[in-house]
Amino acid sequence: MSDANERIKETVTKNDVVLFMKGTKTMPQCGFSSRVAGVLNFMGVEYTDVNVLADEEIRQGIKDYSDWPTIPQLYVKGEFVGGCDIITEMTLSGELDQMFETNAVSYNKEAADKIREANA
């Protein structure tokens, strides 16, 4: 197992929610990363952000780890959830709320409802 793979595995198993993204949660560096971080931030989810632009091994390694070609990538309780389009769909359908509730991840239900209202 490569060093990058080990670091990724350790990150996703030791943190409840992890977002591999371009940039950081406070300064995203691409629109897709910004959208997912914005949803998580607005919903008050505590999560670990990993800036793939700061580490080329992680940038390629996360794609290999998940067998998913794009970034951002969201993990909840060690499980790969998806990228920007999937997270957007799950947010609007309420599936993301259910996933957080099932995994005992704290989030603001009112904020989640506001996202859905704004996009109805």
Binding-site annotation, residues? 30
CA dist 102 and 14 (Å) reads: 18
Binding-site residues from annotation for [2Fe-2S] cluster:
30
Give the residue among 62, 50, 52 at the shortest CA–CA distance from 2: 62
